[in-house]
Amino acid sequence: MAKSFEDSPTIPDARRRAMGPVVVIECFEEIPCDPCHDACNQGAIETFDDINGLPKIDFTKCNGCGRCIPVCPGLAIFVVDETWKEGLAVVRIPYEFLPLPEKGQQVKGLSRDGVEVCDVKVVKVENTRRHDRTPVVWVEVPKPFAMEVRHIRVGGTSLEK
Ligand code: SF4
Ligand code: SF4
């Protein structure tokens, strides 16, 4: 089992990230769960041999569509696009809090531990029926923070699942 973020095979390397949007799966607990596999119609998340195992990803097949993000009960799936704009990346984050931010809004980008990293700009909010009460917020971040920002702070209370 991977012991840290850095050595996890579910994290695409810098070379893959430089090629365009790609999934980043920060699922490090061995729990009986596999909806990410079912959500991926590109075959990028392999069939689980063991339902308690960790996802295995073929990053060459991932097109960064983001379909897998809202199905993850652990909110452990993100899509990072380091090719978004000169000096800027986009991170797509599952966000189950209210109020939802709006496109164009400036919010705080937080680390995995909830520590403030930088100001980020919301460029899109996806909240369709398919998202099933797990909206996905796209935030524009300075590229050096693309692998740091994993949450945002807007304020409010959690949606109940
Ligand atoms: S982002 Fe799309 S293609 Fe990539 S793993 Fe998720 S569902 Fe599959
Ligand atoms: S759906 Fe989420 S928690 Fe479940 S195996 Fe996939 S990445 Fe892990």
Which pLDDT band holds residue 8 (cuts at 50, 70, 90)?
Answer: confident
What is the best residue among 25, 26, 29, 134 to mutate for testing ligand 2's pocket, by most ligand atoms within 8 Å of CB? Answer: 25
The verdict on residue 108 lying in a domain is yes
What is the model's pTM?
Answer: 0.93
Task: Report d(CA 32, CA 131) in Å as an integer.
Answer: 22
Does 109 map to a domain? yes
Residue 158 domain-assigned (yes or no): no
| 130 domain residue, yes or no | yes
Q: Which residues line the pocket of ligand 2, CB cutoff 6 A?
A: 25, 27, 33-36, 55, 72-74, 76-77
Q: What is the pLDDT of residues 57-81, one digit of tens each?
A: 999 999 999 999 999 999 999 999 9
Query: For residues 29 and 58, is the Cβ–Cβ distance under 8 A?
Result: no
Q: How many domains is the chain partitioned into structurally?
A: 1
Closest approach atom of ligand 2 to CA 25:
7
Q: What values do phi and psi take at 37, rounded to 5?
A: -65, -45
Distance in Å, CA 76 to ligand 2 centroid: 7
**Does some domain include residue 41?**
yes
Instruction: Work out the pLDDT band at 2, boundaries 50, 70, 90.
Output: very low
Query: If you take atom 3 of ligand 1, which residue's CA is the nearest one?
Result: 62
Residues 157-161 have a mean pLDDT of 50
Does the C-beta of 64 come closer than 6 Å to ligand 1?
yes
In a domain, 3, yes or no: no
Average pLDDT over residues 140-159: 87
* Sign of the torsion angle spanned by Cα atoms 8, 39, 32, 98: positive
pLDDT tens-digit readout, 84-124: 999 999 999 999 999 999 999 999 999 999 999 999 999 99
Residue 6 domain-assigned (yes or no) = no
Sign of CA dihedral 107, 152, 141, 114: positive
Instruction: Give the chain's end-to-end CA distance (angstroms, integer).
Output: 29
Contacts of 82 (CB under 8 A, 6+ apart): 17, 18, 89, 143, 146
pLDDT reading at 10 higher than 60: yes
**Residue 71: partners with Cβ closer than 8 Å, 6 or more residues away:** 35, 36, 38, 39, 77, 132, 134
Residue 112 belongs to some domain of the structure: yes
Q: Is the pLDDT of residue 30 over 50?
A: yes
Average pLDDT for the chain: 92
Which structural domain, as residue segments, surrounds residue 83? 14-153
Ligand 2, pocket-test mutation among 77, 78, 134, 150, most atoms within 8 A of CB: 77
Give yes or no for residue 5 having a pLDDT over 80.
no
DSSP state of 15: H
Q: What is the pLDDT of residue 160?
A: 46
Nearest atom, ligand 1, residue 21 CA: 1
